[in-house]
Amino acid sequence: MTDLSADPQTERRMNRIDLITGGVFAVLGLAIVYLSWTMPRLEMRGIHPATVPGLVPGLLGLALAFCGVVLGLKAYREGRGAGGWSDLLALFRTEEAGRFCAVAGLALVYALVLVGRLPFWLASAAFVFAFIVVFETWLSPEPRSLLRSTFLALVQGVIVGVVVTLVFQYGFLVRLP
């Protein structure tokens, strides 16, 4: 494996990415804080202030915003005088960027399409199945047999879908869609 920190051009690119990522995390964290603040507090039902629905998401949003600011400041300090934006755009043409897009695409399909339209266990099983097949056969540096990967992905998908559903329903007492 190569040491990426030895390449100054890669360092500059990564600082740009960290700066943008830090900004995105800070904005996302602040949006979560705002949305948590606007959630109903349920004081008319006598709910204790420490158990309001938006408390934990709000605290997590604050933590995310803080981490985003820290990441952005670090990247800004280390990347002053860095190369132009063409260095940054070169990162989007790498294998890692393709894998990231595949993960993001699969996660979005799972969250926005499958969950709510299929039983939760089936949506989760389909997600795990697709994830394993995509990353073991098409996006792997050493692709495995499609037949073997499909079989193992099917078994793992069903197991994960059922176990996660049972844990959430009976362990955490959460009703799933």
Write the DSSP assignment of 23-38 as a string of letters: HHHHHHHHHHHHHHHT
> Does pTM top 0.85 for this prediction?
no
Q: What's residue 1's pLDDT? A: 45
Q: What's residue 80's pLDDT? A: 62
Please name which of 116, 126, 128, 107 lies closest in space to residue 176, comparing C-alpha atoms: 116
Helix (H, G, I), strand (E, B) or coil at 92: coil
Low-confidence residues of the chain: pLDDT under 70? 1-6, 9, 80-88, 90-91
* Amino acid at residue number 34: Y
CA–CA separation, 30 and 72 (whole Å): 15
Inter-residue contact 25 to 92 (CB < 8 Å): no
